[in-house]
Amino acid sequence: MSAAHIHPALAMDKPVRGDIFAATIMTKGEALASFDREPTGTEGPTPGVTFRRTGKAGRIRLNKPKSLNALDHEMALAIHAALDEWAKDDAVKLVVIDAVGDKAFCAGGDIAALYHAGRAGDYQSARRFFADEYRMNRAIARYPKPYVAMMDGIVMGGGVGLSAHGDLRIVTERSMVAMPECGIGLIPDVGGTLVLANAPGRLGEYLGLTGFRMKAADAILAGFADRFLLSSKIAEAIARLEETGDPAAIADLYEAPEGGELDGRMESIDRLFAGDDAAAILTALSVDGGEFATKTAETIRRGSPLSVAVTLELVRAARADPAIETSLAREYRYTYRAQTQGDILEGTRAAVIDKDRAPRWPVQRIEDLPRQKVEAMLAPLGKDELTFDEKAEEV
């Protein structure tokens, strides 16, 4: 899940370490100072991610396969620092990011740590993490050199933030891409609302409210990915990129993915998700009454009503104002308040802590959610608004 959140459906996997939010808080400057600047074949010191320059490529590799390559605060700062360093290095022509293991590129992060920190009254650690992660997401989106992401395996939440804003997003037969945050009381963040807003028709609303798991063809249709490559060809593709520094050098390796599910549902999705608010969408699904509409409504109702309502608002706001900076700033207004005013603690309790899969949302039905709660979660933060200037990043 995005910004440091593993989807509840993955909670039965081996748990990730509980130190993401308890880790030492580094500034971006400290991360830059610790970044290994040796030109070739030398890996950086940050646990969970390695850096090196090989040939004409800056190489980032996520290296926490036992925790599905979960992204933590130190990793986000180090990645941002490496990107800044390589942007100034004329020998680096492009950046390639991939991950160790065949199960996940990055499935998000440690929501159990977020839960325990919030229950202990520590809200600032999560806020710092979100702010620095979002600044890294923006750096990827605005990067001056080609940024290539090998999205092999599970790609959720924070993994979307590391990949979907790049210039060349490559999926494989093992890819599964989703933004399932509503199910644990959060929202699609890391700039995910902008990616959803740019999906064709009302597909962004559907994906954001349901957390639908996309395989390769669907991820390409939705704009989360660009090309399909067999996982067995990743090594060859990366070698060519390192040698040439040119994304065009791997064009002959692409193939057509197996057909997806979403293309044939677009007419229904556009019709059913056109309502003014989440309650209207649920009404349209109920009136339709077909199998797809019924199952979709059931999925939406399992999520946090507050998260569902806010997600719809954020996707449409990003569609009207399609800039990465403003999309991230709007998302931060929610995540800043997530532990104190949102449903993330209850969602995490039900999915990961008690594992009863029965969250007791403060408001049970979307139809009963006061409009004022949505507005309160998205109200400006004043001096705490997310900014992207260098001075703010060093705070």
Q: Which two tokens stand for residue 360?
A: 């007791």
Please indicate whether residue 30 is annotated as part of the active site: no
| Residue 68 exposure: Cα atoms within 13 Å on the Cβ side | 27
181 catalytic residue (yes or no): yes
Cβ(125)–Cβ(278) below 8 Å: no
Q: How many helices (H) and strands (E) does the chain have?
A: 17, 9
| The pair of three-digit structure tokens given for residue 365, joined into one six-digit string | 């039905």
Distance between CA atoms of residues 83 and 60, nearest Å: 9
Catalytic residue among 44, 109, 157, 208: 109
311 near 182, Cβ under 8 Å? yes
**182: amino acid identity, one letter:** C
Q: Is 85 a catalytic residue?
A: no
Catalytic member of 118, 158, 159, 183: 158
Cβ contacts of 223-226, under 8 Å, gap ≥ 24: 223/164, 223/195, 223/198, 223/199, 224/155, 224/160, 224/163, 224/164, 224/169, 224/177, 224/195, 225/151, 225/163, 225/164, 225/169, 225/170, 225/171, 225/175, 225/177, 226/168, 226/169, 226/170
Residue of 325, 359, 373 lying closest to 134 (CA atoms): 325
Residue among 72, 189, 313, 393 flagged as catalytic: 189
Distance CA 230, CA 357 (A): 35
Residue of 74, 110, 181, 343 marked active site: 181
The values of phi and psi at residue 346, to 5°, are -70, -40
Q: Which residues are catalytic?
A: 109, 158, 181, 189
